[in-house]
Copies of this chain bind each other. A is one copy, B any other.
């Protein structure tokens, strides 16, 4: 079967690593492929860059065509160029990522025939992925874990107003380990970039928890000057 596939001499592609957080679980967006090779397999949303589009434009177009999601402000995280990474020839792929709120209103709806469906999948139980996509996932996930230490990326995954329990759940999901509640809260509040709201959690039968907002401006101020001795 693979013998009949066209081969490429040198091709650029994009692969997208889209993280979302839902019901205490960190998830990643996958497509079920509709075409050979790897028909029926899960893969990261990814495809070939056109001659007349920039990498950033290609990333937006490809994600939209394969999942129905758009305007995510994805960023590059790494470019993968091992010689034999693709069965059809030399394909160098640029990895893009985004962290988003999973929102019931954002329906996943592939436009391209290349994807049979797009689904959110928990990162803790990923199926085997096509090509070298497991490796791409691991590379991106470890970078995002490291960025969590010095960039406010985690807040992109939470609703605008959140409880400290939700924030801790997100950190635990990304770091894949339990954190001590008291230490976590103390440390998080000590930074000064969480803004306590007057409004409290609604629709809960137990004692309503405090709600917080993330203060992006304060965050930037604190972390900008970290080591610059100002």
A contact residues vs B (CB 8 Å cutoff)? 9-12, 49, 51-56, 58, 76, 78-83, 90, 92, 94, 148-150, 171, 175, 179-180, 183-184, 187-188, 191, 223-224, 226-230
Contacts and interface: CB of A to CB of B under 8 A. Distances in A.
A150 to B, nearest CB: 4
B76 A78 contact: yes
Nearest to A188: B229
Nearest to A185: B229
Residue among A9, A51, A226, A229 with max Cβ neighbours from chain B (10 Å): A229
A45 to B, nearest CB: 18
Residue among A53, A81, A180 with max Cβ neighbours from chain B (10 Å): A81
A82 B94 contact: no
Count identical subunits in the complex: 2
Contacts of A52: 83
Given A54-B81, A55-B81, A83-B54, A150 B76 contact: no
Given A79-B79, A81-B12, A187 B51 contact: no
9 contacts: A10-B10, A49-B81, A49-B92, A51-B90, A55-B92, A148-B227, A150-B150, A171-B228, A191-B227
Contact of A149 (B90, B148, B191, B226): B226
A49 B92 CA distance: 11
Contacts of A76: 78-79
A10 B92 CA distance: 11
A76 B95 CA distance: 12
B10 A51 contact: yes
Contacts of A184: 229
A32 to B, nearest CB: 28
Contacts of A90: 51
B228 A148 contact: yes
Contacts of A228: 148-149, 171, 175, 179
Contact of A54 (B82, B149, B171): B82
Contacts of A187: 227, 229
